[in-house]
Amino acid sequence: MDAKDKKIATDLAYEIIKEVSRAIRPYAGTPEAGEKVKMGADGTPTSYIDIIAEDTLINILKNAPVLSYIISEEVGELKLGKGTKRSINLIEELKRDDIPDDEIPKFIFLVDPIDGTSNAIKEIPAYGISIAVANVPKGRLATLDDVELGFITNFGNGNFFEAEKGKGCWLNNEKVNPSKVVKFSEMTLGGFTKSGTSAASKLVDNARRMRVLGSVVLELSYVASGRYDAFLDLRGSRIIDIAASKLIVEEAGAIITSKHGEKLNNTLSIYEKAIVVAANNEMLHKQIINILNDNEVDVIGKVGIVSRVDQDNAIIFTAKLVDYFLTNGIEVVIEKRLASKIEELKENPKIDKIIEKTLKNHPEMSEVLDELNLDIDFKKIAKDINEFECDMAVVLGGDGTLLRAQAKLKEETPLLGINMGTVGFLTDIEVSETFNALNQILKGDYYKEKRSKLMVSHENHIFNAMNEVVIMTNKPAKMLHFEIQVDGEIIEEVRADGLIISTPSGSTAYAMSAGGPIVDPKLGGFIIIPICPYKLGARPFIVSDNSEITVKLLKKGKSAVFVMDGQINEEADYLEEIKFKKAEKDVYFIRTSTKYFYEKVKEKLREGGLNSQERCL
């Protein structure tokens, strides 16, 4: 958008604000203003005062000398200008390549004619108009990154915010800056939470004051101007509400992201929503993000290391990690069996050739294995894994190694997986990324991802599983007969080769291979999957993790084996019950990227499930 186009867009925005203000003034605070006229394009009720405001802005853009797309709360998506008005689907319109050059609009206007309609109806002075102007991209969909201009006016008191991308933000023609507050006890917090959100309650309880004005666009602007220190909308704000205020917040120097701290760059559409978290500065914003994600990070002072011991590359890399942590002043403890393997390797007269061969077979290690220091007494820092007292356990290996480690470690020890296995779905870090990730973690720049575990009860014995429990016959090619109950209600009776009860974490393992769905690990549920059922209607179930699942064997004379995470085997006989509930303690993973799960799905589960580089499990 060049200077000339910005001038045209700004003049149109000024005219819209002036004329909408004039049009709605007689109706503010009147019974007529609140009459429900219809349902808006966004699915919310439309009041008479909304219609007055929107008709005014549509008339201005319809008669403008340039063509524009508009996304607005009540009418949805239109193409306006040069005396024309036409309903469109913006996403489909931007995909077209057959529009003549003189028919391509110059701008995309995102407008909420009145944000805070209820306030306007009751004549509470906190309602206004929001206008964002975006470029019309070529050959792709439009996103929040395309917004160049933002305008917000509070009709209740006349305050006028405007921002230009890369140029700054102004309130009533004066530059604005956010506050410098960094403590919750001094924070003024605005926003909308959701019932039952304990993390949000903690924010509200610890803030100096909480404000709820009922206007997202105005309250976000208050973060930019220092009236608020932070604002959040955990319900999800419409893109038309945040398009202008996001630009205003960012141009003032404040921060606005998703709940997980990710950049907001949603597609411009009437249907698009985003959970928003805004704060005056990075320090306060990071504290809020950590609380919302149950991630009040701890200082890492002591690290435990667990590794597979069947491959030289893992053993050598463990030695490198020990040296790294000790050099950075971090206390280290390693498995006794692992310590013995490193000491054996140190004493091997062919150690140089072993390292040379390792680097040849694993070139990804060459960048991170310089200056290997083996002059450490590894046995002196060794303990049994169940005796580890540490702030973080680093696990080198594949998913099997990680599952074995978490089963033996003290409950809720946070895990960081370094992938030295085959698929490595649970392991977050590749070898080449290890030390960049660790530098980040030691600075406190990480979050803890919580995952559920299964508690398995059988004949007064209790077991735990993080991925899945598999029930099957101990005789090949024989079927079992199962009765499956959820909270005492029989949901299925089926003959099958076996049965899988899986957590969301296990949905990408055996459960997926058996035809189960891939489940986001943040979901609170368990998956029940019959293995090769002799019944057309037998399909996987997803049930709440607040439920109790009971599996009973119905075939007399047949026993079954149930296996927890491929680690622990137990037997069950005819009419014996195996019960499954959510374990009281969860598993925590150290993560450095908020986009962990779906990126792993795309990366790891392509055809064959493996990277092109061969690795052994």
Beta-carbon neighbour count of residue 368 at 10 Å? 16
Amino acid in position 172: N
Q: Are 406 and 428 in contact (CB under 8 A)?
A: no
* Among 274, 272, 270, residue whose Cα is nearest residue 74: 270
Sign of CA dihedral 286, 519, 452, 412: negative
Q: Kindly state the tokens that stand for 85.
A: 């008005």
Amino acid in position 225: S
Sheet harboring 188-192: ordered strands across? Answer: 209-211, 188-192, 230-238, 273-279, 255-257
Sign of CA dihedral 582, 584, 590, 595: positive
User: What is the reported pLDDT for 611?
Assistant: 47
Give the model's confidence band at 188: pLDDT under 50 very low, under 70 low, under 90 confident, else very high. very high
* DSSP β-ladder status, 45-47 and 36-39: antiparallel
Region 111-140: what's the mean pLDDT? 91
Q: Are 237 and 193 in contact (CB under 8 A)?
A: no
User: What is the reported pLDDT for 296?
Assistant: 61
- Decide which of 341 and 609 is more confident: 341
φ, ψ of residue 402 in degrees (nearest 5): -65, -40
The CATH label, of 3.40.50.10330, 3.60.15.10, 3.40.50.300, 3.90.1150.10, for the domain at 302-452+588-604 is 3.40.50.10330
Ranges of beta strands (E only) in 8-159 are 36-39, 45-47, 68-72, 76-81, 84-87, 107-115, 128-135, 147-154
Helices (H), 275-369: 282-292, 312-327, 336-347, 351-361
Same topology, domains 184-292 and 454-585? Answer is: no
User: What is the reported pLDDT for 25?
Assistant: 92
User: What is the reported pLDDT for 617?
Assistant: 34
Region 545-573: what's the mean pLDDT? 88
User: What is the reported pLDDT for 259?
Assistant: 87
pLDDT at residue 199 above 80?
Answer: no
What are the extents of the domains in the chain?
3-169, 184-292, 302-452+588-604, 454-585
4-40 per-position pLDDT tens digit: 999 999 999 999 999 999 999 998 888 888 887 766 6
DSSP H or E run through 230? strand 230-238
User: What is the reported pLDDT for 424?
Assistant: 65
Query: Which CATH fold would you assign to the domain 184-292?
Result: D-Maltodextrin-Binding Protein; domain 2 (3.40.190)
Region 96-101: what's the mean pLDDT? 88
**Distance (Å, whole) CA 445 – CA 430:** 18
User: What is the reported pLDDT for 395?
Assistant: 94
pLDDT at residue 528 above 90?
Answer: yes
Q: Are 506 and 467 in contact (CB under 8 A)?
A: yes
336-347 and 312-327 helices, crossing angle to 10°: 100
Q: Kindly state the tokens that stand for 510.
A: 């055996």
Domain 454-585 in CATH 2.60.200.30? The answer is: yes
231-260 per-position pLDDT tens digit: 999 888 999 999 999 999 999 999 999 988
Region 54-76: what's the mean pLDDT? 92
- Does residue 377 have an active-site annotation? no
pLDDT at residue 609 above 50?
Answer: no
φ, ψ of residue 160 in degrees (nearest 5): -130, 115
367-404 per-position pLDDT tens digit: 777 778 888 999 999 999 999 999 999 999 888 888 88
**Distance (Å, whole) CA 439 – CA 301:** 13
341-351 per-position pLDDT tens digit: 999 988 888 88
Q: Choose, from 42, 146, 399, 428, the residue flagged as catalytic.
A: 399
Residue 492: C-alpha distances to residues 485, 555, 573, 575 (Å): 7, 15, 19, 16
Domain 3-169 in CATH 3.30.540.10? The answer is: yes
Region 582-595: what's the mean pLDDT? 84
**Distance (Å, whole) CA 386 – CA 406:** 10
What is the b/e burial string over 230-260, where b = at least 16 CB atoms within 10 angstroms of the residue's CB? bbbbbeebbbbbbbbbbbbbbbbebbbbbbe
pLDDT at residue 204 above 90?
Answer: no
φ/ψ bin of 468: left (φ > 0), alpha (ψ from -120 to 50), beta (otherwise):
beta
pLDDT at residue 456 above 70?
Answer: yes
Beta-carbon neighbour count of residue 530 at 10 Å? 25
Report the percent of the chain where pLDDT is more than 70: 93
pLDDT at residue 616 above 60?
Answer: no
288-310 per-position pLDDT tens digit: 888 887 766 677 889 999 998 98
User: What is the reported pLDDT for 183?
Assistant: 86
**Among 76-80, 203-207, 352-356, 423-427, where is mean pLDDT lowest?**
423-427
- Decide which of 196 and 368 is more confident: 368
User: What is the reported pLDDT for 235?
Assistant: 86
pLDDT at residue 44 above 80?
Answer: no
* Among 100, 92, 198, 191, residue whose Cα is nearest residue 141: 92
User: What is the reported pLDDT for 610?
Assistant: 44
Tokens 């696990």 found at: 395
Per-chain mean pLDDT for the chain:
88
User: What is the reported pLDDT for 197?
Assistant: 60
Q: Which of helix, strand or coil describes residue 84?
A: strand
